[in-house]
Structure 1
Amino acid sequence: MKHLLLLPLLALVLVVTGCGAGDAETNAPQEVVVTATDLAFDTNRIEVTADQPVALTFRNDGALEHDLSIMHIPVEITDTAEEDEAGHDMSTMEEMPELHVSAMPGMSNSLTFTPTEPGEYIFFCTVTGHQDAGMTGTLVVTAP
């Protein structure tokens, strides 16, 4: 009789535990890696989902300094990049981008953020002349 009572209890524990696992996966950051080479990104389109964290790793495999910036985007930054290590100078810009990560040649940097509104947002390299040379792309934020 005791064994018969334990089976429904065990089944309930398994169901409740299984339900919680889905929530943990939903909150896991979307992993995105973008690599810069000399005057190019390895992708010109990134797709992520709104209201879900994004862990962006920016790698600079080129010989020049590069960054990835978006001027205007509704976003919550949850973990900022190490700008001191990147050594990137943005003092000549009239307006600062809302999303920015940079890396010196041969280095990488990361940024965790949550886009809050669906839409298409242009990303580009802010180093003088790099955007004009083609270092641009689109971040597509889709509805959850």
Structure 2
Amino acid sequence: MIARKLIFLAGALLIAGGLLAGCSTSDEAAKDQSSEEEIETEETGEQESKADEKSEPEKKDSSEKDDHVIDVSAFEMGYDPKEITLTKGEEYELVLNNDGEMFHDLTQKKLDIKITYMSEMADHPESLSFLDKMLGVKKSYASGDHDGGHEGETKNIHMNAKSGQTVRVKFIPQEKGEFEFFCSIPGHKETGMVGKFIVE
């Protein structure tokens, strides 16, 4: 009888021990599994961030400038840039920023172009600035129609801008070659306000 009790007790202890061992094993397995999942998640996160880093240079930088938009600064007495390279048959937007203190224009009479858009332009002023008078300028626009004007004109460029003003023209060059542009206000071209379109 005692032997049976001992056997029963031993068996109960073995079962209890097995259950306890099984529980701790399953707890450890669960811990191991959650640790493995965390490691996989971290690795996946690292891989995704590396993939993002790799794809970033491939994305187009939104601050990249469009090479068909040409910003030109007009000032006393010049343009920046002075040389502008274009491709025949392609549309360009020419943006004239008057960064000077005086009224300036950008006039181009020789290049055959097709104008597709023109913003509103300031009229040439009736009076001259103090600096113009010091330079010996007698009038604020060239003689006649001041080199082509800009009403209904489709064959050349004439852009007027007051100090601080920005004006725009969209156009398509129709021929290849080198063509001078300049400020048509008397005295400005003579003092260096000239540049060149190079159409390829």
* Shorter-chain TM band: 0.7 to 0.9
2:148 to 77, 91, 96: 96
CA distance 1:111–1:29, shift in 2 (3 Å) = farther
Matched, 1:65 2:123: no
Where structure 2 has 5 or more consecutive residues not aligned to the other structure, the ranges are 1-65, 126-140, 150-155
Q: Is the 8 A contact 1:29 1:52 kept in 2?
A: no
Aligned equivalents of 2:175, 2:163: Cα separation in 1: 32
Aligned equivalents of 1:91, 1:141: Cα separation in 2: 26
- Per the alignment, residue 174 of structure 2 pairs with 116
Is the radius of gyration larger for structure 1 or structure 2? Answer: 2
Q: Is the 8 A contact 2:178 2:199 kept in 1?
A: yes
C-alpha deviation, 1:79, in angstroms: 0.4
C-alpha deviation, 1:93, in angstroms: 3.4
| TM-score, normalised via structure 1 length | 0.72
Aligned equivalents of 1:93, 1:45: Cα separation in 2: 28
TM alignment of 1:73-88, pairs within 5 A = 73-83=111-121, 86-88=122-124
- Per the alignment, residue 20 of structure 1 pairs with none
C-alpha deviation, 1:91, in angstroms: 6.5
Matched, 1:129 2:175: no
Measured on the aligned residues, the alpha-carbon RMSD in Å equals: 1.9
Identical aligned pairs, as a percentage? 30
1:105 to 141, 150, 163: 163
CA distance 1:44–1:29, shift in 2 (3 Å) = closer
C-alpha deviation, 1:29, in angstroms: 7.7
| Secondary structure of 1:113's aligned partner | strand
1:93 partner amino acid: G
2:92 to 39, 54, 60: 54
Where structure 1 has 5 or more consecutive residues not aligned to the other structure, the ranges are 1-27
Q: Is the 8 A contact 1:29 1:53 kept in 2?
A: no
What per-residue deviation string (whole Å, max 9, x for no partner) do you get for residues 8-48 of structure 1? Answer: xxxxxxxxxxxxxxxxxxxx881101001111111210001
Q: Is the 8 A contact 2:142 2:186 kept in 1?
A: no
| TM-score, normalised via structure 2 length | 0.53
C-alpha deviation, 1:81, in angstroms: 2.9
Aligned equivalents of 1:49, 1:101: Cα separation in 2: 21
What per-residue deviation string (whole Å, max 9, x for no partner) do you get for residues 76-99 of structure 1? Answer: 00002312xx12264723642621
Q: Which runs of 4+ in 1 moved over 2 A?
A: 87-95
